[in-house]
Structure 1
Amino acid sequence: METPNEETVYLDYNATTPVEKEVQDVILQALQEAWGNPSSAYSAGRKANELVSEARQQVAQMIGASPADIIFTSGGTEANGLVFHTAVKHFWAATNGLAEGQCQRRPHIITTTVEHDSVCLTAKHLVEEDKADVTYVEVSSQTGQVDVVDVLAAVRPNTILVSIMLANNETGVIMPIAEIGQRVHDLCKGPTKHRPILIHTDAAQALGKVHVDVNDLGVDYLTIVGHKFYGPRIGALFVRDPGSSTPLFPMLFGGGQERCFRPGTENTPMIAGLGKAAQLVFTRLDEDETRMQDLKDYLEDQLKNKFGKEKLHFNNHFEGSKRLPNTCNVSILGDDLQGYRVLAHSHRLFASTGAACHSSQKNRPSPVLLKCGIPAKIARNALRLSLGRFTTRKHIDIAVAELYRASCELESASIH
């Protein structure tokens, strides 16, 4: 991809981030020096094994976990799928040995209406194949968050998993995962003796932007996605004491790598790069978070100064809710200012109207914004401007000028 420079401005860091130079260097070095199979005993294999172990420690450090709790995956989609697969398998394994179909109830899963497709579509697939029941909890139009009380109200005797993202990729709203985890676990310890419920959060959008600690959150599983924090396009899954305290059932079978939880010869260069990216998050987070918050405030102020408050609607300004420090979701109001049209006329700006995986839908308003209570006419005009480590105030000035020019051109063309 084209990286940010003085000619173009990249404000789509929630879609993907450029790979840090230090991460690139580690990947290249691994390609050159650790080309051996990590399971082999000779020097190139031992070097590869050492890099995988070091990366496991670095990823664990980033989230306050033990290295033994980290399972490397191909990415966030696989990690999320592994959690749902495990939940269903664990339900049947724990149901007194009854075979699937012999139990009166299927496993029940709770998630929300604003999850990433890798969660929503996996849940939908399980329902269509009669493998699970799923409750999709709505988010509040006042807060943009899922309400803890609503999650608890959705719990059934056969509930096995609660899966809720840590931060929404379009609004940046941070969900109350720690409280949800605590209340659900308390429910399982209470006098009703509810079966243990597993707690999962997809932390793809939060890592590298806000502090994430698995012990503070109280989760059993946490999804990690490298290309969201300046690393390569692989991922990892945190599992609290996998196979012992927390179940984990493999989806693949092979050579026994990753303690048989995720077999397949390890992608050593990318794993090493993921570890380095995680290390940089650990050392730079405070600085990055403060800087991004300052830049986002500057962006929103410049938009107001250029367009006027009456011309804008900030789609993620929910009172009392915490948001990611880098995410601005805004609509420029006007009948001809649909987000995809404005961006098509903003030749120097790289941004999106919502989730990158929905970019082909163009004029369709974001389902996430609609579910957050944003009217369709406003949601159609939405722009997601997400900042990152390489964003400067000059980039923001260029972006605002581009958006203003494009909007004026579109409105002028509609008059004529």
Structure 2
Amino acid sequence: MPQQKIIYLDNNATTPVDDRVLNTMLPYFTDFYANSTGTHLAGLTVKEAVENAAWQTADLINADADEIIFTSGATEGINLAIKGLANQDRKHIVTIQTEHKAVLETCRFMQSIGFEVTYLPTASDGLLDIQLLKEITTDKTLVFIGMFSNNETGVMQNISEISKILKTRNVLFMCDATQAVGKIPIDVKALGIDFLAMSAHKFYGPKGVGALYISAKAKIKLSPQILGGGQQRKLRSGTLNVPGIIGLGKAAEIALKEQQEDQKRIEVLRNKLEKGLLQFKGSFVNGNTENRIYNTSNICFPSVNSEQMILALGNISVSNGASCSAVTSKPSHVLKAMGLSDEDALSSIRFSLGRFTTSKEIDIAVERVLSLAKEFATKTQRH
């Protein structure tokens, strides 16, 4: 019996590497393998390619190349931006309860070294109360950390309004844009963002590489978290992952050209998927449906265990956004912060579409999910 083709609807977890990205990377494993810090011709050739990738990455968010630090991904960038501020006089950090664990755990570390951290709640639709941000930030607040688009629900915060408030109080703005970069136009200058983290593998680049944008205007000297040879202006030592950086640059170049075209097509498919799945009695979308990224739909199927559903779907890849182990499942901290009960949180599934999703795949997914949801719900009612 032939193996069924994977229908991949988990693009917020990671995306496949675009063939154009892979083909651009390959020579840097075989032909152009010199260290980018080498002063010989081979090294200078690679250095030039890395500098070009920095420009490609910067162009995607309207930054300058010298404002880009290459990292192993968004998690490292987040750690560098937050921990790197430990030497500042202000000791108050503000963030949101629905942030990614990379932010929340790093903030907890900052608390352990003497910082005060305020974790702001959201409304039931996942949006931050802007008035609350106004009230909580003071002249002792160092930085606000806010996600551009939530990884589980796709909800997009009002970045522009948040930035205006922060600037009136001289508070730095660190934005985790992992789920937004490469999908929608981002202008860090216009938005007044001081630090922005991204990962290549979220927009069809390779895993293990990302970037941190550090605004030259912020005039803040971050403390490096990785010490050594002093690469990247002494902010992030270590031999550069050249093939990965080349891949990030190419992925950024493609995204800049194609993200609007991708949005039009993917949004239609997402809406088609959502309309079909909401036929299940009692189902509902988690999060604000107006202010969200176009590829994401997080749907609760009451009385249906999401973990069982994911296993039963087999070749259809989706996510429940929960922290799971072999013994127990915990409800998503994001959905809990939005006010969902444990039962509803554990009955919620995230569908995240991508560049290579097809209409036929959506048809198959809707049919399979609805069939299984009805089956599981019937079994639950019997018990």
TM-score calculated relative to the size of structure 1? 0.87
Does 2:210 match 1:235?
yes
| Structure 2 partner of 1:179 | 161
Does 2:332 match 1:348?
no
- State the secondary structure of the residue aligned to 2:325: helix
Deviation at 1:157, TM superposition (A): 3.2
Percent identity of paired positions between Structure 1 and Structure 2: 36
Judged with a 3 Å threshold, the aligned counterparts in structure 2 of structure 1 residues 412 and 312 are, in CA distance, closer, same or farther, namely closer
Q: How many angstroms apart in 1 are the aligned matches of 2:228 and 2:257?
A: 36
Residues 48-106 of structure 1: per-residue CA shift (max 9 Å, x gap): 10111010000000000011110001111110011112222133xxxxxxxxxxxxxx7
Does 2:361 match 1:378?
no
Amino acid at match of 1:322: N
Judged with a 3 Å threshold, the aligned counterparts in structure 2 of structure 1 residues 341 and 183 are, in CA distance, closer, same or farther, namely same
Residues 181, 218 of structure 1: 8 Å contact kept? yes
| Structure 1 partner of 2:231 | 257
Runs of 5+ consecutive residues of structure 1 not aligned to the other structure: 92-105, 189-196
Residues 88, 131 of structure 1: 8 Å contact kept? no
| Structure 1 partner of 2:325 | 360
TM-score calculated relative to the size of structure 2? 0.94
Count residues with an aligned counterpart. 378
Amino acid at match of 1:119: V
| Structure 2 partner of 1:112 | 96
Q: How many angstroms apart in 2 are the aligned matches of 1:206 and 1:283?
A: 15
Q: How many angstroms apart in 1 are the aligned matches of 2:139 and 2:379?
A: 59
Alignment of 1:198-237 (within 5 A): 198-233=172-207, 234-237=209-212
Alignment of 1:247-286 (within 5 A): 247-286=221-260
Q: How many angstroms apart in 1 are the aligned matches of 2:195 and 2:146?
A: 11
Q: How many angstroms apart in 2 are the aligned matches of 1:225 and 1:137?
A: 25
Residues 139, 169 of structure 2: 8 Å contact kept? no
Residues 115-145 of structure 1: per-residue CA shift (max 9 Å, x gap): 1111100111221x2331100011111x411
Residues 6, 316 of structure 2: 8 Å contact kept? yes
- State the secondary structure of the residue aligned to 2:330: coil
Q: Could you tell me which of 147, 150, 156 is aligned with 2:138?
A: 156
Amino acid at match of 2:284: H
| Structure 2 partner of 1:97 | none
Residues 356-411 of structure 1: per-residue CA shift (max 9 Å, x gap): xx243864221111111223322210000000001011111111122123224334
Q: Could you tell me which of 101, 116, 119 is aligned with 1:133?
A: 116
| Structure 2 partner of 1:324 | 293
- State the secondary structure of the residue aligned to 2:11: coil
Amino acid at match of 1:77: T
Amino acid at match of 1:126: M
- State the secondary structure of the residue aligned to 1:199: strand
| Structure 1 partner of 2:106 | 122
| Structure 2 partner of 1:192 | none
- State the secondary structure of the residue aligned to 1:78: helix
| Structure 1 partner of 2:268 | 294
| Structure 1 partner of 2:283 | 312
Residues 343, 403 of structure 1: 8 Å contact kept? no
- State the secondary structure of the residue aligned to 1:90: coil
Q: Could you tell me which of 333, 349, 354 is aligned with 2:302?
A: 333
Q: How many angstroms apart in 1 are the aligned matches of 2:273 and 2:66?
A: 41
Please tell me the root mean square deviation across aligned C-alpha atoms, in Å.
Answer: 1.9
Q: How many angstroms apart in 1 are the aligned matches of 2:182 and 2:65?
A: 19
Residues 353, 359 of structure 1: 8 Å contact kept? no
| Structure 2 partner of 1:100 | none
Q: How many angstroms apart in 1 are the aligned matches of 2:189 and 2:325?
A: 38
- State the secondary structure of the residue aligned to 1:343: helix
Amino acid at match of 2:174: H
| Structure 1 partner of 2:73 | 75
Residues 148, 157 of structure 2: 8 Å contact kept? yes
Deviation at 1:354, TM superposition (A): 1.2
Runs of 5+ consecutive residues of structure 2 not aligned to the other structure: none
Q: How many angstroms apart in 2 are the aligned matches of 1:380 and 1:174?
A: 23
Q: How many angstroms apart in 2 are the aligned matches of 1:147 and 1:221?
A: 22
Amino acid at match of 1:62: L
Amino acid at match of 2:286: N
| Structure 2 partner of 1:66 | 64
Q: How many angstroms apart in 2 are the aligned matches of 1:402 and 1:360?
A: 26
Q: How many angstroms apart in 1 are the aligned matches of 2:268 and 2:238?
A: 43
Residues 329, 382 of structure 1: 8 Å contact kept? yes
Amino acid at match of 1:401: E
Residues 331, 345 of structure 2: 8 Å contact kept? yes
Judged with a 3 Å threshold, the aligned counterparts in structure 2 of structure 1 residues 63 and 341 are, in CA distance, closer, same or farther, namely same
Deviation at 1:44, TM superposition (A): 2.2
Alignment of 1:395-406 (within 5 A): 395-406=361-372
- State the secondary structure of the residue aligned to 2:248: helix
Q: How many angstroms apart in 2 are the aligned matches of 1:114 and 1:412?
A: 32
Deviation at 1:6, TM superposition (A): 7.0
Residues 6, 395 of structure 1: 8 Å contact kept? no
Deviation at 1:413, TM superposition (A): 4.5
